Structure 1
Amino acid sequence: MLNKTLAMSDQEEQRTFSLSKQEKRLSMSFMYVTFISLFIGGLMGLLQTLVRSGTFSLPWGIGYYQILTVHGVILGLVLTTYFIIGFQYTLMNKTVGMSHKQRQTAWLGFWVMIVGTIMASITILLGKASVLYTFYAPLKAHPAFYIGLALVIIGSWIACFVNFRQLQVWKKQHKGEKSPLLAFMVVINMLLWFIATLGVAAAVLVQFIPWSLGYAETINILVSRTLFWYFGHPLVYFWLLPAYMAWYAIIPKIIGGKIFSDSLARLSFVLFLMFSIPVGFHHQLTEPGIDPVWKFVQVTLTFMVIVPSLMTAFSMFATFETTGRKKGFGGLFGWFKHLPWKDVRFLAPMIGMLAFIPGGTGGIINASNQLNQVVHNTIWVTGHFHLTVATTVILTFFGLSYWLIPALTGRKLTSKINKLGIIQTIIWTVGMTIMSGSMHIAGLLGAPRRSSYSTYGGTEQASDWIGYQIAQAVGGTILFVGILLMVYIFIQLVFFAPKGEEEFPIAEEEPDAEPTPRFLENWKLWIGLTIGLILIAYAIPFMDIIQNSPPGSPPFDWPIGNS
């Protein structure tokens, strides 16, 4: 074994574990919650676009911000978290295995999350927590909402430590060997999640729960928002990194290729861990009470995340081209033309990947101090979220589902379901292009976010926006059709598709790739550097906020903030 690299033989590289019935049942439990959430959250999104266009009024006294909260919480937090944890359990179980005790602990985490989800959902549906998914103070929800959020976070921490333990046990049994790439990626993502959720957990447990229960008369709003955005931006990368896992290590197998570079993939994930957390101030650029110097520091750190994103783009298109050339496809773009566009397992993630180009560009604009002033608090920001999370991430998750669900249920992805999946992907792409595109344009014209037609319908500028709001309703309607079709496909894959074995696509590394440097698995180094960057970015400004910001709730015209 080379002294400065991690070795793995060809036989070791292909070694995987069979998924037991109990492990499949565990992952599928998360998938059921995911697709129920997709339907409920999608319906709320459709109602939002209809209300915002002025073509529909909510019945039975239901409030606009009630459905807005359901949409954001159910899709932005519940759907994504449950899918990611279920998917990552499957990857870990397949690559490093799971013991009986670990599985029991994983079930405990699942049920804690379920209890928390039900508590928070009931309060929202009863109109007791119409505070949006950001739950900004001074808006106050019922205590059960915050307690429910705390339980969801605690349940997800249990999943974190199960994944950490899985890799630790594997490493003890395979000393000196390179850990499986997907297991490495899962642990990075769960490290990111655990470190980031410490902020929102502190806000919920120390500030919001005592305040909502009446034990505290006031709440320090700037502290609460700072803690939320310490979590809020890494949340975006918690969503994105499972998609990156698929792009790096699963899509190459689907197209008949190999991983371009194991080292580059690991390095990009390490950089995401380091640079996605200490950047929350770029969501607070217009808020008073934060020294502009520290805003500048965190904006600079935000742009560092562009580096691993560009590394990923390079790696993926290198994989595509290398695979195509090996198959004999000549010409400048022959390799691109002959990619498996008729395979929905490739098509959906590929469109998600392409959507990240304009999505990432919009993110650069949002994080730029000057350009942010143009789009701040407009529906442009909502359009950006729908390009990144609702297109890049969700389409990749859909693409994963076409082989993941059959692998967990013992059924086959038939040609008929594959065709339905292609239709669903096209419907989603068209609907999101119309809706997100009109949101971006309306945002540039000054249309506010978080507002219904009743809020701005009588304003002088409303006539400039209404056409784009109607376009959003059209796009939202198309998207809801796509949601219904995806739920139908899920039901087919779970209950009605023919029984059989579906491929679990995990790609191998290129045989002539450079060996992976040992330092890439130096967990103490990367965690230490991440904590160091967080302390540099937050320690001094946070102490300044605590010492100098008003202790009580400010007036209700306090600026809502960037996101």
Structure 2
Amino acid sequence: MSKLSTVVDRRDAKLSMAHLYVGYVAVLIGAIAGLLQTFVRSGAITLPAGIGYYQLLTAHGILLALVFTTYFIVGFLYAGMSRTMGRFYDLPYRLGWLGFIIMTAGTVLTTIMVLLNEGTVLYTFYAPLKASPWFYIGLTLFIVGSWVAGFGMFRQYFIWRRVNKGKLSPLFSFMAIMTMVLWLVATLGVAVSVIFQFIPWSFGWVDTINVLLSRTLFWYFGHPLVYFWLLPAYIAWYVVIPKIIGGKIFSDSLARLSFVLFLLFSIPVGFHHQLLESGISPFWKYIQVVLTFMVIIPSLMTAFSLFAMFELSGREKGARGLFGWVKKLPWGDARFFAPFMGMLIFIPAGTGGIINASNQLNQMVHNTLWVTGHFHLTVASTVALTFFGISYWLIPHLTGRTLTKRMNLFANIQTILWTVGMFFMSGAMHTVGLFGAPRRTAYTTYGDHPDALGWIPYEVTMAVGGTILFIAVLLLMYIVVNLAFFAPKGVEEFPIGEVAEAAERTPAVLENWRLWIAVSACLILLAYTIPVIDMLEHSPPGSTGFKLW
């Protein structure tokens, strides 16, 4: 392994950029589908050539919420591990490329099925909606490819641990491994559902499917997916932002503990997405709601660490008064401004998440556009803005170029446009959701007549927000292409913060992977074993005994 430097190895950089290229192509296609969606829903246009609203909805959800995020996360984590642990060894490097190839094959296959209208089953692909078996095979390849990439990271990490016995692993790399462990454990649910339920059913090998079990396995995956999106953003907040603002990481041990808690409490909580579904005991719903609220603890720990870091950095620069440190933050630096706007948006997003997970409050907003608005605040705002902010320095770093003042200005404008556009779109979704407007529908009212546009002022507001967001996407594409191919040659910093001298020493137990994975497995077994056995024993008509279908 080459000597550790402040620059990602050129070989590793090409692997990371390959992931970013595919991710941003997905952003462009998904954004086009999203724009058309908002216009159709507002009644402004009628789609030509038989293109369906739900076809666009499926493409928009899969390409942006799954394809873009996963490709970006894998590319970012590979780059960060190379930066903090040194050049990847040959086997982990080859696994990274193999994972990329398998993921891309699955992505292309799934996207083709959606575009051919053979996979119009929405982002959640709930049964009894049925797609072409090749749609599900593409999803399987996508998941397996991400596993292979994760195994490459695991191998690199444990080789480093073996070579550097007794040393604390770099914080970035520890967080990267925790993120991929969470992803691996979470995707087991959707993999089981797709391989053993949907593929046999879609090929016609079996006649029926256990719908409740399929939905349960999806949400076993669906909720930790949110934290798979969020944890890389948290990595940037914990590790990268301190360096950008000229501060230091508040506490290494607090950061690691928060990630351990996210692993423990973000997976065994899928039932809070199924609070209104029959067939699940209220007792087990209650247990998982309690576990859901436990995730608030590491979220508050993160908020405390970040704002403590901001204040300490500001005080060192001479800030006075209660909020004097705010003036010392680098507001003109897009590397900071975009992620910070994501942090601020996460405050109402987190509040909405508490509402969604509360049994009584969920009764009002369940399956309304409120929930869609919530997702647009979390993944489409907090996560997306942080990922964009990372891209503004990561892409030029990996391509050997620099972030110019002009591109920095455009990046700040893009951040403002995205924030304003999402304010209109998500705000309208939340508002109309409180009035009862349903989600996942092409119509704007419950009425029997499709032309009864009872929510038209809000639908127009969504269309306005969607238009602003699409302009922001076009500007984003211009910035990404410029930073990848046309920006001046040079060296852009890959910022990695240092831990404050006054921070407590990190306990070795936080890197005891066997312990934390075992505790996570126990919580999952506690939350799911009896309910799943009950679903298998009480299969719906058409299936008998312990069958998945």
TM-score normalised by L of structure 1: 0.94
Q: Secondary structure at the match of 2:455?
A: helix
Q: Deviations over 1:125-172 (max 9, x none)?
A: 000010011110000000100000000010000011111111100001
Name the structure 2 match of 1:96.
85
Question: Which one-letter code corresponds to 1:172 in the other structure?
Answer: R
- Please give the alpha-carbon distance, in whole angstroms, between the structure 1 residues aligned to 2:119 and 2:503: 53
Name the structure 2 match of 1:245.
235
Q: Do 1:445 and 1:464's aligned partners in 2 also have CA atoms closer than 8 Å?
A: no
- Please give the alpha-carbon distance, in whole angstroms, between the structure 2 residues aligned to 1:255 and 1:19: 21
The percent of aligned pairs where both chains have the same amino acid is 64
Q: Do 2:4 and 2:83's aligned partners in 1 also have CA atoms closer than 8 Å?
A: no
Measured after TM superposition, the shift of residue 94 of structure 1 is: 1.1
Name the structure 2 match of 1:326.
316
Q: Deviations over 1:517-546 (max 9, x none)?
A: 111111111001000000000001110111
Aligned equivalent of 2:140, options 128, 150, 158: 150
Q: In the TM superposition, what are the counterparts of 1:516-527 in structure 2 within 5 Å? A: 516-527=506-517
Q: Would you say 1:481 and 2:471 are equivalent positions?
A: yes
Measured after TM superposition, the shift of residue 461 of structure 1 is: 11
Q: Deviations over 1:10-45 (max 9, x none)?
A: xxxx96464222211100000101111111001111
Aligned equivalent of 2:63, options 66, 70, 74: 74
Q: Would you say 1:52 and 2:41 are equivalent positions?
A: yes
- Please give the alpha-carbon distance, in whole angstroms, between the structure 1 residues aligned to 2:537 and 2:526: 18
Name the structure 2 match of 1:223.
213
Aligned equivalent of 2:29, options 40, 43, 47: 40
- Please give the alpha-carbon distance, in whole angstroms, between the structure 1 residues aligned to 2:476 and 2:131: 33
Q: Would you say 1:537 and 2:537 are equivalent positions?
A: no
Q: Do 1:289 and 1:549's aligned partners in 2 also have CA atoms closer than 8 Å?
A: no
Q: Do 1:252 and 1:319's aligned partners in 2 also have CA atoms closer than 8 Å?
A: yes
Answer 1 or 2: higher relative contact order, Cα 8 Å, separation at least 6.
1
- Note the residue ranges of structure 1 that are not aligned, 5 or more in a row: 1-13, 554-563
**How much is the aligned-residue C-alpha RMSD, in angstroms?**
1.4
Aligned equivalent of 1:125, options 109, 115, 120: 115
Name the structure 1 match of 2:185.
195
Question: How many corresponding residue pairs?
Answer: 540
Name the structure 2 match of 1:63.
52
Measured after TM superposition, the shift of residue 61 of structure 1 is: 0.6
Name the structure 1 match of 2:546.
none
Question: Which one-letter code corresponds to 1:288 in the other structure?
Answer: S
Q: Do 1:70 and 1:124's aligned partners in 2 also have CA atoms closer than 8 Å?
A: yes
- Please give the alpha-carbon distance, in whole angstroms, between the structure 1 residues aligned to 2:76 and 2:208: 41
Aligned equivalent of 2:73, options 68, 81, 84: 84
Measured after TM superposition, the shift of residue 73 of structure 1 is: 0.5
Q: Would you say 1:373 and 2:358 are equivalent positions?
A: no
Q: Would you say 1:162 and 2:152 are equivalent positions?
A: yes
Measured after TM superposition, the shift of residue 95 of structure 1 is: 1.2
How has the CA–CA distance of structure 1 residues 455 and 138 changed in structure 2, closer, same or farther, with 3 Å as cutoff? farther
How has the CA–CA distance of structure 1 residues 321 and 225 changed in structure 2, closer, same or farther, with 3 Å as cutoff? same
Q: Would you say 1:274 and 2:257 are equivalent positions?
A: no
Measured after TM superposition, the shift of residue 460 of structure 1 is: 11
Aligned equivalent of 1:341, options 305, 309, 331: 331
Measured after TM superposition, the shift of residue 101 of structure 1 is: 2.3
Question: Which one-letter code corresponds to 1:323 in the other structure?
Answer: S
Q: Would you say 1:207 and 2:201 are equivalent positions?
A: no
- Please give the alpha-carbon distance, in whole angstroms, between the structure 2 residues aligned to 1:148 and 1:28: 22
Name the structure 1 match of 2:384.
394
Q: Secondary structure at the match of 1:72?
A: helix
Q: Secondary structure at the match of 1:250?
A: helix
Q: Deviations over 1:391-411 (max 9, x none)?
A: 000000000001000010000
Q: Would you say 1:440 and 2:430 are equivalent positions?
A: yes
- Please give the alpha-carbon distance, in whole angstroms, between the structure 2 residues aligned to 1:516 and 1:533: 25
Name the structure 2 match of 1:22.
11
Question: Which one-letter code corresponds to 1:85 in the other structure?
Answer: V
- Please give the alpha-carbon distance, in whole angstroms, between the structure 1 residues aligned to 2:13 and 2:117: 36
Q: Secondary structure at the match of 1:516?
A: coil
Q: Would you say 1:313 and 2:313 are equivalent positions?
A: no
Name the structure 2 match of 1:546.
536
Question: Which one-letter code corresponds to 1:417 in the other structure?
Answer: M
- Please give the alpha-carbon distance, in whole angstroms, between the structure 1 residues aligned to 2:278 and 2:64: 30
- Note the residue ranges of structure 2 that are not aligned, 5 or more in a row: 544-549
